[in-house]
Amino acid sequence: ETGVTQTPRHLVMGMTNKKSLKCEQHLGHNAMYWYKQSAKKPLELMFVYNFKEQTENNSVPSRFSPECPNSSHLFLHLHTLQPEDSALYLCASSRTSGGETQYFGPGTRLLVL
């Protein structure tokens, strides 16, 4: 299934590095999301974009910076991360932002050293 793709799939970075995660959806959806999933914890919503506009920033630290140039692409720019930021970062999309089914990409497994 290639409805939602994410790159890279794995990323190791130092605390002083800057990196970006990329997500692309091929489903014609209008809403896109970033989630963080830490071990044995529920998914945590980070950001929501609806028609390219950010509608939710769930108290995420500024070291995470999202960018949505169009309805099909979503980026998460990372800088000066902490080891506790190590997690699986999942991108998802849905037709609208009205609480309907979301489809997930395979995720980026991030390790911060």
Partner 1 sequence: RKEVEQDPGPFNVPEGATVAFNCTYSNSASQSFFWYRQDCRKEPKLLMSVYSSGNEDGRFTAQLNRASQYISLLIRDSKLSDSATYLCVVNSGEFSGGYNKLIFGAGTRLAVHP
Distance between CA atoms of 34 and 81, rounded to whole angstroms? 16
- SS3 state at 17: coil
Shortest Cβ 42–partner 1 spacing (Å): 4
Token duo for residue 41: 């914890």
Which residue in the set 11, 21, 46, 48 belongs to the binding site for partner 1 (CB under 8 A)? 48
Which range of residues in 16-24, 38-46, 61-69, 70-78 is near partner 1 by CB under 8 A? 38-46
Nearest approach in angstroms of CB 4 to partner 1 is: 8
Q: By C-beta, is 53 or 84 nearer to partner 1?
A: 53
From the CB of 16, what's the least distance to partner 1, in Å? 28
Cβ-based neighbour number of residue 53 at 10 Å: 9
CA 38 to each of CA 2, 12, 94, 110: distance values in angstroms, whole numbers, following the listed order? 24, 16, 22, 10
CA–CA distance, 35 with 42 (Å, rounded to integer): 10
Residues in the site for partner 1, rule: CB under 8 A? 31, 40-43, 45, 48, 50, 55-56, 88, 90, 97-107, 109
